[in-house]
Chains A and B, each alone.
Chain A
Amino acid sequence: MNLDINLIIRFTEILITIGVVMGGLLAVVPLLTYMERRVLGLIQDRLGPNRVGPFGLLQPLADGIKLFLKEIIIPSAANKIIFLAAPVIVVITALAAFAVIPFGRDYKLHLELFGFTIDRTIHFYITDINIGILYIFALGSIGTYGIILGGWASNSKYALLGAMRSAAQMISYELSLGLSTVGVLLIAGSLSMVDIVNAQAKHWFIVYQLPAFILFIISGFAETNRTPFDLPEAESELVAGFHTEYSGMGFAFFMMAEYINMIMISSLATILFFGGWQPLFEWKSSIDIINIVQPIIWFCAKVFFFLFLYMWVRATLPRLRYDQLMKLGWKALIPLSIINIAITAIVKFIIENNIRII
């Protein structure tokens, strides 16, 4: 068997990219739980966790150790295999969706080392498939199963009610989430995330698609089961909703998946409407590393703005009633996003064919 050196390099490159993206995500999630509690504390005029380590920064670590050491209790009437598989489904689908997210500008590496010349383009994404956004939505819809099956397998009334609410909610809001992005896809003319970001080099799509952005962010909040749409886990009615019976790492997985999905929706909002890694202003430097890092910092800053928005909204808005939730989804968001698609398509047709109206 002859081993091709280029194949090995390519393979390790892919593995390293996957490792960096997944490791980065899993490192950000605990920080987010800390950030969320501190931001909520700030807005509600209290302190939040500040005892463990400097400014309470080690609190997520303490929580992690605690959750890791807790016993995983399986209810005696539960369906064991599905009960244990549900949190795994949720986390895997949430993580796998990040395979198509572009984090930074492509970089042409030219290196001369020990007589070898290395000429290759370094991409800041794991893969670029031509159905990128559909891939993300497909994985998101599989992730719903983790919640539904987890709630069902617990064999508990509260968990089942939470699961049913989440099934209805996810189906309803998946529609408006998908439809609200169609306007952007029409303008970009591609489903690939990399192409969408490249199409925004001059103007971010928020300029053309402000209504779609508002629809998208509302549906995104509902899709991640966050306030004001957190009915599947409404603590005042359903104890904790679908994850009532979960303890230890099972519970931790559901929490992790919720935060990863928040990062996902934030990244999607950034990529579709705010230009992804496209910087507002850029400081050109002769040192390459600064040029590489700047777009990545812009991307992370935009994503963190949306994550802050999540926490801000959680501290501000009360929960919707169930019938209000359904009314908002079916009677407001979906018709509005269809109108947005129609207007975008007509305007695009007029501009592309140079039709004079008057």
Chain B
Amino acid sequence: MILNILFFYLAAVTIISALFVVIKRNAVHSAIALLVTFVHVAGIFLLLNSEFLAAVQILVYAGAILVLIIFVIMYLNVTQRYRMFNRLKLIAFFVGVVLFAEVLYIITRTALKGQKGEFPIAKVLEMGNTEAIGKALFTDYLFPFEVASLILLVAMIGAIVLAKKEI
């Protein structure tokens, strides 16, 4: 009962604040709305018994990435109010519809319903959330994990090359 109410509160605030990220004209207000979104997504992770993901969600997304976004907004002093709609709105609408259809298709397939796989909630609770994620990440999913870190490294090197005039 309480869990249901909590879930609907978290879900509603997540969606509404995510909308505010797009709607707000002031870039800093958008960033604050994004912070609210991140915190409530972390709340949903908590409801799903994954405390580790919740903490990392706040630590990485709210704590590092969003601070960088705000830093850039302040640094560039984005105060001009841009027009909210531009020439691309037809294409944007089309892409949005396609993406929404994709999400609907995946949700309505039974593939994501219920608990599947080697780590049901009972097992995760028994061995600990952090341990379960660590074990899965460094054994079964080691290759995707390494590929992801390589991609991040490439992005980092690219940023440094772009920003520095002489290396």
Contact = CB atoms under 8 A, between A and B. Distances in A.
A164 B64 contact: no
A131 B63 contact: no
B64 A191 contact: no
Contacts, number: 71
B94 interface: no
Contacts of A349: none
A152 B28 contact: yes
A137 B59 contact: yes
Given A129-B51, A134-B56, A144 B63 contact: yes
B96 interface: no
Instruction: Bin chain B's interface residue count.
Output: 20 to 34
B13 interface: no
Interface in A131-145: 131, 134-135, 137-138, 140-142, 144-145
B41 interface: no
Interface string A147-166: 01100100000001001100
Contact of A171 (B54, B64, B74, B130): B64
Contacts of A138: 42, 55, 58-59, 62-63
Interface stretch (B4-12, B65-73, B139-147): B65-73
A206 interface: no
Contacts of B63: 137-138, 140-142, 144, 174
Interface in B3-28: 28
Interface residues of A, number: 26
A238 interface: no
A131 B59 contact: no
A92 to B, nearest CB: 12
B62 A131 contact: no
Contact of A152 (B51, B64, B67, B74): B74
18 contacts: A131-B54, A131-B129, A137-B63, A138-B62, A141-B63, A142-B62, A142-B63, A144-B63, A144-B67, A145-B67, A148-B74, A149-B32, A163-B74, A167-B70, A167-B71, A170-B67, A178-B59, A191-B130
